[in-house]
Amino acid sequence: MKMRHAWMALALWLLLGVAHAQAAAPVASLDRTHVGNGETVTLNIEVGEDNVDNPDLSPLSADFVVLGTSTNHTLSIVNGKREAHTILGVALRPKHEGQLTVPALAIGGHTTQPLQLQVDAASSAPADAANRPVVLEGKVEPGQGYIGQQFDYTLRLYFAVNLADGQLGDPSAEGAEIRRIGSDANYQTVRGGRRFNVVERHYAIIPQHPGPLVVQPPTFQGTAVDPTDVNSFFGAGEPVNAVAQPARIDVRARPQGATDGAWLPARELKLALDGFPADGRARVGQPITLTMRLDAVGLPFEALPALSLPKIDGADVYPDKAVTGSSTSGPWITGRRQQGFAVVPTHEGTLHIPETTLHWWNVATDKAETATLPARDLTVGPGSGAATPTPPAIAAHAAAGTPAPAASAAGSDVARVPVVAGVPWHWIAAGLGALWLLTLLAWAGWARRRRQAAPPMPAAGTPGAPPVRAGPAREQFLKAAASGDLAATERALLAWARAGRPAVRTLGELAAALQPGRQRDAIAALQRARFGEGVPDTTAWRDAFANGFEWAASGKPPGEGGLPPLYPR
């Protein structure tokens, strides 16, 4: 029966894995949605697999010229889960102006979504800009917004010469956080009848204070070379430089229409809660793993609030460790926060999970919006056996997805024994007592056989004991002390002492027969080290007994003493 359940669980896991793989459809995006006629644009197709087939690019030939393709593979492991991503890049050049549609493409049994691209007429840049070999331009979008909102700063370097080297810095803005987004885009465009190579770079600017914000542009410094000039091969190039104009942003404070709580100025926000049983049923003591996920376009994950469930009557809730991260979609940051919860029902009946709301500000529409998770009701039935709440440790393992159910399964089997088999509890107690008694008898027999198998060694000085000489016994003690073997050191010391005092049997008797001083202290240190209460000091032991034993001048021999008289005269 257990093997059958194991196979059913494995089959269900495989089906879920197949369903998850089928749901991971490719996502298409453009590095720019607004270009000029003659410029190039890159179509990026992201899939969640490391081995994919090449898409069919023939639908693009109606409005675009395919200039080339590239492939970028990434692999990451989050909480032990392997995530593979492949980005296919397709360089396109529009054939004409207007509002063009990048058609859907078939790849790996899936279809991408169509995209819109605005193609304007050729750039009408000033003549002086078109005549310069290198031009640097910076532009920020939108021109105004709110504190904490992401602004896109686009930096474009135009050059119509061959560059041997160049250095392009980053913009700066006092009172704002600046992050570089994605990788550089490379394409060509025509300005004033002259063709330029373009390097485009995006930055995310997040203001920290309201008021006017000035973005200081970087500068470019490089060396232009002429391929037809022989001297250019010896470093005789012409230095070129360019600087862009500063950009200004009008940053507004948090609007009065925003609700209290976390301030979330985003372009798009999604809140989801998954993991509910398909049949809407649960059992007492069995955890339900719910996963809440928050995705916000235009906000990094650091700006997202911690996720939590409202108070649930009739259940214990144990949160798991949060999973966070940020990705990019074109020029915009997408922050993600994911939180798992183990919900353990504590009694039968209807388990009501209240509604969850999150207020945010839509910067695209400049309006307050609310993300809502509707309330859910689950029917809770009796647990397996005794309705005992699941301990927090088991619930935490269930939330984390670790293989802790073995312990909970064992507990369920024990709980079912009195109900299924109908055995009274006192018979179970009697059986456990009998097992305990059998264990005790087995241990006693083993100890008796061990004593019989190893007869005691006759003590020195007793009939049948081998004679012990002081010289060899002393050398054996010094050797044992140098080795650090505490048991051997104790045996060698006693054997040496018995050469002169045969009645000495233990370290306590030896210490009593010695004068007060360092030898008694050395014996006490040896006893403490033997029982793990001190640090072995073999050098001190050897030095203490280097000149032999310091026997007490008076007193009865060990073993002949007794208690003092109760009424001394």
CA atoms within 13 A on the CB side of 73: 6
Cα separation values, 346 from 284, 389, 520, Å: 5, 6, 64
Residues in CB range of 34: below 8 A, 6 or more apart: 117, 118, 120
Identity of the amino acid at 186:
N
C-alpha–C-alpha distance, residues 205 and 215, integer Å? 9
Contact between 204 and 179 under an 8 Å Cβ cutoff? The reply is: yes
DSSP state of 459: P
Residue 181 tokens read as 């987004």
Q: Where are the alpha helices (DSSP H) in 422-517?
A: 425-453, 470-483, 486-498, 507-513
Per-residue pLDDT 10s for the chain (569 aa) are 444 544 454 444 444 444 444 446 788 888 778 777 666 778 888 887 655 677 888 899 888 888 777 777 776 665 566 667 788 888 787 888 889 999 998 887 788 889 999 888 755 444 456 678 899 999 999 999 999 999 999 999 999 988 888 889 899 999 999 999 988 899 998 888 888 999 999 999 999 999 999 999 888 988 888 777 655 555 557 888 888 889 999 999 999 888 888 999 999 999 999 999 999 999 999 999 999 999 999 999 999 999 999 999 999 999 999 999 999 878 999 999 999 999 999 999 999 999 999 999 999 999 999 999 999 999 999 987 544 444 444 444 444 444 444 333 333 333 333 333 444 555 566 677 677 677 777 767 766 665 554 444 444 444 444 556 778 888 888 888 887 788 888 888 888 888 888 888 888 888 888 888 888 888 888 877 777 656 677 788 788 888 888 888 754 444 444 444 443 43
* CA gap 191, 157 in Å, rounded: 13
| CA–CA separation, 36 and 350 (whole Å) | 61
Would you say 153 and 215 are in contact if contact means Cβ atoms under 8 Å apart? yes
What SS3 class is residue 213? strand
Separation of alpha carbons 470 and 493, rounded Å: 11
Give me 130's structure tokens.
């078109």
Quick check: 288 and 343 in contact, CB under 8 A? Answer: yes
Closest to 263 measured CA to CA, from 354, 388, 361, 383: 361
| pTM more than 0.75 | no
Query: For residues 257 and 367, what is the distance between their CA atoms, to the nearest angstrom?
Result: 8
